[in-house]
Structure 1
Amino acid sequence: MSSVVNGSAVVVATSPTVQLAQIKSKQRVRDLAEVYTHEREVNAMLDLVPDMFPSEVDPANHDRRFLEPACGSGNFLEAILRRKLVTVTSQRYGRGQRFEFRVLRCLTSTYGIDIDQENVEQARRRLHDVLEWHLHSQLNTRDASTGFYAAVTHVLETNIVRANTLTDAATLILVEYQPSRGNAFLRRWSPLQESEPAPVDLFSMDDEPVQDEAPVHYSLLADNPEPVRKRASA
């Protein structure tokens, strides 16, 4: 099933997904309850939320956030990313940093969690391949700019993670990427699920949210895995 929460699509599959077979092995079915959803069902479910994707009416709709809490090897994630990228073309955004930033916006708003590390690594590879193919199709022989693929790898590591969504939601930290001016992102680190509030202590200050104090250009994301602080004035 699919549902929309706070403007973000949470795509809930009954199982992880792959393209060719519904199971890898009977052992994995026993150990992980792993039964894959067919591509036909993946697309049928995504068709239920057309307003979450770019369209002729809203071709720049690339920042709606999706979370697949049992992403498997990435069928849902790949289908989501492909749909987002449809309107990210060199004709619309040129062939420079503006284009690359739009591609990354499609990726930074796509999240996946799985209990199995093998699935996580395969999902990351599949999304990386989708982006690489898209750049080649739009830029032909032109290479990506310095830092682009490092940023892709970094985002895949923060957005596609190994965890048990049912038991780890309150402790699992995900990074929200907010697009900013100058082809940059402001990031915020927060738990997937807010824990119960602690008793109020009038003599202590609330913890400040973990977030960037200054935007980070996309080419520098991999070089700045921790929150960026503002530089002191000279």
Structure 2
Amino acid sequence: MAFGDGDSIDPLAVDGRAEKSGLNQASSAKWGPTNAQIKSRERVRDLAEVYTHKREVDAMLDLVAPMFPSEGDPANTDRTFLEPACGSGNFLEEILRRKLAFVSVARYGRGDRYEHRILRCVASIYGIDISQDNVDESRDRMRAVVNSHLDNDLNTKVVSDAFASAVEAILGTNIILGDTVADADRINLVEYRASHGCTFIRTWTTLDAASREMDLFAAMTPKCDARPVHFKELASHPEPVPALLNGVEA
């Protein structure tokens, strides 16, 4: 699902949970004033960068409400969103917040199942931008949303170190630098398909190959995991994993 460029920047306070989660703490100070629609005239000139107001972001996402979890379908957290010009992450931030609203300890318990469900929310959101500053800021804001959610839901409990590493691995593959118009054949995307036992099966493809199909990841590609990968192993296995033969990697 593709949307337009980013929104006004709404700084998100990050507290002690950032340390407890192991995620990098985002600096809200650099995000500029609330609802600012441009960062500078130079960026407007060089990048054609103008942000949309938050009310428009909310209104647009409200139009696709069935794409998000709800009281009637709380497990609907895996729908894929692709923002081809994500700016500083305004749509990405709100998409993630809406997905996480239905991920709670009360529903999933503490531990791997809870952490895996949060990762499923993060892994189904993609953003591409031509500015490295925007890519970095988008990742920061996604981290901040996760940190805020953990702080509100876990109270004094902490997540595993491997969870933080998995978040970083997913943000590294999903929020990326690129020109979606000129370089679609060189932009690599990784699908994270949730599997049993808190695992993922990843498939690699290029943006141009995916865009030729109705489904973002319907294009056939030989590059994929030969077996499910536990989320705690994502960071240590950035490339496709081989099948196991008698319990040993083939």
TM-score after normalising by structure 2: 0.83
Match of residue 164 from structure 2: 149
Q: Does the 8 A contact of 1:18 with 1:72 survive in 2?
A: no
CA distance in 2, matches of 1:11, 1:174: 14
Report the counterpart of residue 226 of structure 1 in structure 2: 239
Structure 1 segments (4+ residues) deviating >4 Å: none
Query: Which residue identity lines up with residue 148 of structure 2 in the other structure?
Result: W
User: Who is 2:7 aligned against?
Assistant: 17
Letter in 2 for 1:226: E
Aligned partner letter, 2:7: T
Aligned counterparts of 1:186 and 1:91: Cα–Cα separation in 2: 27
Does residue 163 (structure 1) correspond to residue 178 (structure 2)? The answer is: yes
2:204, 2:221 within 8 Å by CA — same for their partners in 1?
no
From 97, 116, 123, the equivalent of 1:101 is 116
2:63 is aligned, of 41, 44, 48, to 48
Residue identity matched to 2:226: E
1:17–1:71 CA contact under 8 A, matched in 2: no
Where do residues 1-234 of structure 1 align in structure 2 (5 Å cutoff)? 10-13=1-4, 15-19=5-9, 20=34, 21-194=36-209, 209-233=222-246
Provide the rounded CA distance (Å) in 2 between the counterparts of 1:120 and 1:134: 21
Instruction: Give SS of 1:189's match.
Output: strand
Task: Give the structure-1-normalised TM-score.
Answer: 0.88
- The amino acid that maps onto 2:172 is E
Give the Cα separation in 1 of the matches to 2:173 and 2:209.
18
Instruction: Pick the structure with more helix per residue.
Output: 2
One-letter amino acid of the counterpart of residue 229, structure 2 = V
SS at match of 1:130: helix
Percent of matched pairs sharing the same residue: 54
CA contact (8 A) 2:203 2:225 kept: yes
Q: Based on CA coordinates, which of the two structures has the bigger radius of gyration?
A: 1
Query: CA RMSD for the aligned pairs?
Result: 1.7
Deviations 1:40-77 (A, max 9, x none): 10000000001000011111000000000110110100
Q: Which residue of 2 aligns with 1:3?
A: none
Counterpart Cα distance in 1 of 2:221 and 2:124: 24
Secondary structure class of the residue paired with 2:69:
coil
Contact 1:185/1:216, CA 8 A, preserved across alignment: yes
What's the counterpart of residue 203 of structure 1? none
- Give the drift of 1:208: 5.8
Do the aligned residues in 2 keep the contact of 1:53 with 1:83 (CA within 8 Å)? yes
Q: Shift of residue 232 of structure 1?
A: 2.4
- Structure 2 residue ranges without an equivalent (≥5): 10-33, 213-219
Structure 2: distance between partners of 1:120 and 1:45: 22
- How many matched pairs? 215
